[in-house]
Structure formats: C-alpha cells, structure tokens
A and B are shown apart, each in its own frame.
Chain A
C-alpha cells in the first residue's frame, strides 16, 4: 500500500483518486469503527458514518479548496470529524458523551448551522444512494446518465430505446420507483421526522 502525505490525500479526494480512497478506507475505517463500537454502535453504523464523513470532507474541501490544512495528522482530523458527526446524529443521544471538537473546529471554522446542514444533506444523499442500488441496472443506468445531464439522444442510443418519448417514460418510471423506495426507507423517514441534528 502506497503512503500519502496530507496534501496528496487532499488532492486525491478532490480528484476522486481510487488509490487514495482505498488508502483512506484501509487506514481510517478501522479507527472509525473502533470509535463507533466504543459508543455502542454497530459495524453497519460505522460504515454509514464513514461514508457521511467522506461526503462531508468533500464539502469542506469544496469550500476551503486545496489550501485546506490541518494542524494535527489528517487521520486524527478525519476520526475527530467522524466523531463529531456521530455525536450530532440521532443515532446517539447520550448527552453525557463529550469529545474534543477543537481539532475540527479549528480546521473547518463552520458555524453550527452550516455544519448541521452538511451532515443532514449527506445523510440524505446516503439514503438516496442506497436506494439507487436497489433499482434494476437499466434504471440505475438511465438515472446515472441523467445525473450527468446527458441529452435524451445520448440516453436513447446508450439505452437502445426507440424514441425520446420512451426515454421520457423510462426515466419517469425509474424516478417513480426510486421515490417510492426512498419514502419507505427508515433512514429517510427518520431524517425527515427529526430534521437537522
């Protein structure tokens, strides 16, 4: 496994470099898992949290840019960020738990409201992503093409559909199915019910 400097990790995340993502998974996930288990969560909770933390990191880097730096090691920062999100989430409401948020506060310098917005949006995105995976491959494909704003003609060719009307019908059927799945998703329901952390 290649080693990366903090700067290489930051660039790798911005560029979506698979090797850097694999490095982060290998090096960081076990620490996140350990922390979550310490606070009574499961391995699945840890995996959810790891994804939310990565999404939040993308938000932070988009706002701060490549000049973003942390005074601690990047791993310490990431685990603290995960801990912060964990504490903010509704999965754990034990008020007695405290953690040192200085490492994160110092680095990201976001208001509480802004941070809460990011955590909420990223949890919603995870709900969307996990239901997207439940769709048939053809539906996932058409939605991915739509995400990338491909014109109907491109979708028509790629999906081997007969007309732009059939692209429209297929798209609509897939969106309908996805919304039904999301509306039934316990995570989504929980997020909507409780609002932002």
Chain B
C-alpha cells in the first residue's frame, strides 16, 4: 500500500497534469495500484455508513455477551465438576483474583451515588421532550423500569441516554449502561461527557473490567472533569493494593 498518498491526491483532484497522466497510465498497467484504488474508494464509502457501523457494534456486543453466557450455562455436568475441581486446585490464585474483583466492586459501592434527576427536571421544562420529562419523573421516584421505557421513546436525546444509563445502573444492568455512556462519550460535543465518563469508569469497575476502568479513570484524571479528584483517588487505591 505504497500508493496511498498518490491515490488521495488523485481522488482530491490535486495531481498536476503530468502526475495525473502518469497515475492514469500506471493504473492501466499496475494491477496493485488499481486494486488499492478500488479498496480505498470502497473504504471511504464504508466509513460514512456510521449508522450501520454503530448498529453492528451494538449487535456485536450483544452477540458476544450471549455467547459468553451460553458457554458458561452450556457446560455439561462433568465439565462443570471438572471446572469446579480446577477452581479448587487453583484456589490460591483464585482468591487473589476474587479479591481484586471484590475490591473493584467495593470501590464502585464506595464511589457510586445515585445521580439526582431533579436538577434536569427543574432546569428545562420547555425544551426537554415529553417522554424524557416523564422518564426523569419515574427516575426520581425510583421506578427505573418505567423510566427506561420512557427514555427509549427518545433514545437519541443525550439527556435521555444519560438517565437511561443511570437507570440501568440502578437496575444492575451494567452492560446496557456501558453502551449508553459510551455513546455519549463518542458523541463528544455535549454537556454530559464528564458524567458519562465517570459512570462508565464505575460500571467497568463493577463488572471487573479493570483495564477499561483504568483507561477511563486515567482519561478523567488527565482532563478537567469535575470527577478528576475522585478518579485520582480510585487510581491510587487500585495501585496501593
């Protein structure tokens, strides 16, 4: 793929007459260049299909989670017994791992506090969609299942995404919460990124995904987030153990 620069210049119409002539001539005689040009054009076409790519990512996560569940639940009895024996044999290392998992879950319990929806409720009655308003009311009253249903009706709304994510946390559906928080971060240009990053890090802690939790906490610590100090404290506690 040595031709990328030329291909980009060609497609942007930046090649001078001589270079353009040379490029087109080479295109006829060099199958590699022709193939690279085609792949590049296809790639560009694919890259703008963000909606489908987002959907594929969501489906992939759902599929992988289901596969994991199935692998675990589908273990035959003898395999389960063997697994249990292996677990016992590896009890020393296992305890260490469990301690690490427990520690992360404890950190989650220590640092997670329910976000109030009342500020959002009071702040913008005229601009917030009706389903989001109703969702916030359900959220405030602690009826998280109904809140999720309402937020689903306005799922592109970022405030709706944030509070749906928080509702999922309250319902202990951390994987769904992760998807919502990640979507807010990916969107980037909004007021909820700080909160999304913080709760995403906590969800990773709660689900024992230490690498991802560390990455998020480091992102928060190195920025100007209001959760910076808390993130630094958690990182220190993780390091000290």
- Distance in angstroms between the alpha carbons of A180 and B1 in the assembled complex: 7
Contacts of A18 in B (CB 8 A): 58, 62, 176, 179-180
A25 to chain B, nearest CB (A): 5
**B59, A19: Cβ atoms closer than 8 Å:** no
**Partner-contacting stretch, out of B41-49, B105-113, B116-124, B135-143:** B41-49
A186 to chain B, nearest CB (A): 15
Does B23 sit within 8 A of A, measured CB to CB? no
Contacts of B62 in A (CB 8 A): 18, 21-22, 25
Residues 43-80 of B, flagged 1 when their CB comes within 8 A of A and 0 if not, give 10111111111111011101100100000000000000
Does B35 sit within 8 A of A, measured CB to CB? yes
- Distance in angstroms between the alpha carbons of A58 and B66 in the assembled complex: 23
Kindly state the interface size class of chain B when it binds its partner. Answer: 35 or more
Contacts of A47 in B (CB 8 A): 63
**Partner-contacting stretch, out of A9-17, A64-72, A74-82:** A9-17
CB nearest to A150 among chain B residues: B188
**Partner-contacting stretch, out of B11-19, B147-155, B199-207:** B147-155
Contacts of A25 in B (CB 8 A): 59, 62-63, 66
CB nearest to B2 among chain A residues: A176
Does A85 sit within 8 A of B, measured CB to CB? no
**A16, B51: Cβ atoms closer than 8 Å:** yes
**A143, B47: Cβ atoms closer than 8 Å:** yes
| Smallest CB-CB A-B distances: 10 pairs | A128-B46, A176-B1, A17-B155, A179-B39, A15-B155, A147-B47, A25-B62, A147-B50, A129-B56, A55-B52
